Amino acid sequence: MADHADRSGTETAAGDVAGIIVAAGSGSRAGMGTPKQYASYGRTTVLGHAVERFRSAITGPILVVIPGGDEGQARSAIGDCDGVSFVTGGATRQESVRAGLERLASAPCPPGIVLIHDAARPDLPREVAERLIAALRDIPGAIPVLPVVDSMVEASGNIMAAPARRENLRRVQTPQAFRFADILAAHRDWQGDPIAGDDAQVLRKAGLEIALVDGDARLAKLTFREDFAMNAAPPPSFRVGSGYDVHCLVPGDHIWLCGIRIDHDKGLSGHSDADVALHALTDAILGAIAAGDIGDHFPPSDPQWKGAASHIFLSHAASLAAREGYAIANCDLTIICEAPKVGPHREAMRARLAELLAVDMSVISVKATTTERLGFTGRGEGIAAQAQILLTRTA
């Protein structure tokens, strides 16, 4: 989509969303010989995976709550810590969350929304985060839940006391989402021992409502050793993505294509430099790793991207793919326009793309075609580009 026009709801709020990952427990029940948040999980650690998935779901700051003196081990478990900060937790989960909320409250611009997540649930499907944030339009809190499928009973010791109505019961997951001011006030107003089971209970005790949204089985919690084997399924060896973008032509004296400036009697219109080819390729990479699209990461409503060089977007997407453990095997890019002629610039474009993606030119294909004077590109009203990418697993 051309420059990914501003969208209402969760997209426009994404920059105002912060994340807290609670990783201050001992994790001893897992029997891993180390706190489970630092245990190996796939190609990284439980905490490292949780941070990666959070980064794919929100664009705001991420705060990890850790035991005292653990910052070095936590940094090692995460690896790339850009955009991540740490705070020491308390003796209970509720105290740890409170410490995280207070740290966010002390920032120059506290967030409007906060997602509070357990590191022991290392996966975070983006669509769950979107459902939670959308629910906050009407209600101050939202939690993901799953239905109860087994028959339920109440117990009196080891004796069945009475059946429980499973249709009225739900299995609660994290992350739990809140309007920041409301959950902060609820934690500050809490009376009694700080032993609430989760933050939804804290908000409810303050008299506020909590919405229930559909959870996801991928949010399963790692508690015992066998859970690690069940949840750490190997990622696919290959991933394929496609991207398509369009920008209209306007009066000007040059255009950018594949990171190359080309003199022309028109320019391309867009919030950034409108490099339609780099936008399509960026979306192809983001699509391959299921990380949304270019508008999610660089919203046109954000003034900092006005006139920005599009190679920033492409490099960001490539770094996300590398973080997920994938390298670029090859890419195929087609530019659709009547003018300018792409042929004289093709090799320079391939070289620039190879440089930006840190790959050999031999895996970069740049082609051009026309629509035989048909459609908006045929009439010279705009330029389109489509891209395909193949990623291979590196670890």
CA 141 – CA 179 distance, rounded (Å): 7
- Do strands 364-369 and 113-118 pair parallel, antiparallel, or not at all (unpaired)? unpaired
CA 121 – CA 37 distance, rounded (Å): 10
Q: Which residue has the tokens 């117990």?
A: 155
Q: What is the pLDDT of residue 75?
A: 92
Of 338, 305, 318, 324, nearest in space to 4 by CA: 305
Is 186 inside a domain boundary?
Answer: yes
Task: Name which residue leads in pLDDT, 193 or 32.
Answer: 193
pLDDT higher than threshold 60 for residue 1? no
**CATH number, domain containing residue 368:** 3.30.1330.50
**CATH number, domain containing residue 126:** 3.90.550.10
pLDDT, averaged across the chain: 88
Q: What is the mean pLDDT of residues 233-259?
A: 90
Please report, rounded to a whole number, the percentage of residues in the chain having pLDDT higher than 90: 67
Same domain, 298 and 198: no
Same domain, 126 and 251: no
Q: What is the pLDDT of residue 56?
A: 86
Is 1 inside a domain boundary?
Answer: no
Same domain, 227 and 243: no
Q: What is the pLDDT of residue 304?
A: 86
DSSP 82: T
Do the beta carbons of residue 318 and residue 358 sit within 8 Å? yes
Lowest mean pLDDT among 142-151, 193-202, 290-299, 341-350: 290-299
Q: What is the pLDDT of residue 129?
A: 95
Of 118, 132, 113, nearest in space to 50 by CA: 118
| Three-class DSSP category at 113 | strand
Same domain, 207 and 280: no
Task: Name which residue leads in pLDDT, 277 or 149.
Answer: 277
Structural domain total, the chain = 2
Which residue range forms the structural domain that includes residue 99? 10-156+163-231
Q: How confident is the model at residue 221 (pLDDT cuts 50, 70, 90)?
A: confident
Q: How confident is the model at residue 229 (pLDDT cuts 50, 70, 90)?
A: low
Same domain, 176 and 128: yes
CA 143 – CA 122 distance, rounded (Å): 17
pLDDT higher than threshold 90 for residue 258? yes
Q: What is the pLDDT of residue 43?
A: 72
Q: Which residue has the tokens 């664009």?
A: 59
Do the beta carbons of residue 132 and residue 145 sit within 8 Å? no
| Residues 9-55 pLDDT 10s | 333 333 489 999 999 875 544 444 567 888 888 778 899 989 999 98
Picking from 231, 263, 289, the residue at the C-terminal end of a domain is 231
Of 82, 87, 106, 109, nearest in space to 23 by CA: 87
CA 379 – CA 373 distance, rounded (Å): 6
Q: What is the pLDDT of residue 164?
A: 87
CA 60 – CA 112 distance, rounded (Å): 11
pLDDT higher than threshold 90 for residue 291? no
| Residues 52-88 pLDDT 10s | 999 888 888 999 999 999 999 999 999 877 789 999 9
Do the beta carbons of residue 180 and residue 135 sit within 8 Å? no
